[in-house]
């Protein structure tokens, strides 16, 4: 039985988030990892609420998705692959061999030059937990008697 990839409904993990100008920072307090998502990856992550399919996300996130739904779907799948690899999704993605993929060059040619900004990007970093990041307490220096 073939699964319709456009109807796949991703679900994001509930993480602490901080909105920045064009990015979102996510923090996973179980793994102590911080994740920085660019505008496109953040928009995809926000819509991974279990109510939006890949096709719905593509329509909402990729400008001009009506003209080339396959290219728009590729942008969303690229973001979902990065989100899945970073451990930001609850459900696992379908097998990678069946996912539609286009190179960055193909996406720019099919969706336009403005797509360069829309290429999703997610970066992750290990962050120490608050108690681990504190400096060890120093003992106060012993008091010396003042010479007279």
Tens digits of residue pLDDT in 61-82: 877 666 666 777 778 888 888 8
pLDDT-derived band at 116, boundaries 50, 70, 90: very low
The domain spans of the chain are 13-129
**Beta-bridge mates of residue 17:** 26
- Return mean pLDDT, the chain: 75
So what's the pLDDT on residue 92? 85
Tens digits of residue pLDDT in 46-57: 999 999 998 899
Q: What is the arithmetic mean of pLDDT over 121-145?
A: 63
Query: What is the 3-state secondary structure of the chain?
Result: CCCCHHHCCCEECCCEEEECCCCEEEEECCCCEEEEECHHHHHHHHHCECCCCHHHHHHHHCCCCCCCHHHHHHHHHHHHHHHHHCCCECCCCCCHHHCCCCCHHHHHHHHCCCHHHHCCCEEEEECCCHHHHCCCCCCCCCCCCCCC
The CA distance from 12 to 14, in Å, is 6
């Amino acid at each position: 039985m073939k699964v319709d990839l456009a109807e796949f409904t991703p679900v994001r993990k509930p993480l602490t988030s901080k909105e920045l100008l064009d990015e979102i920072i996510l923090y996973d307090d179980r793994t102590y990892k911080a994740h920085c998502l660019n505008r496109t990856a953040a928009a995809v992550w926000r819509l991974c609420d279990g109510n939006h399919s890949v096709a719905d996300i593509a329509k909402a996130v990729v400008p001009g998705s009506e003209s080339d739904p396959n290219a728009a779907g590729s942008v969303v799948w690229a973001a979902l692959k990065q989100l899945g690899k970073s451990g930001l999704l609850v459900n696992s993605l379908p097998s990678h061999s069946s996912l539609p993929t286009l190179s960055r060059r193909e996406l720019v040619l099919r969706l336009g030059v403005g797509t360069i900004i829309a290429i999703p990007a997610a970066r992750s970093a290990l962050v120490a937990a608050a108690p681990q990041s504190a400096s060890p307490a120093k003992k106060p220096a012993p008091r010396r008697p003042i010479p007279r």
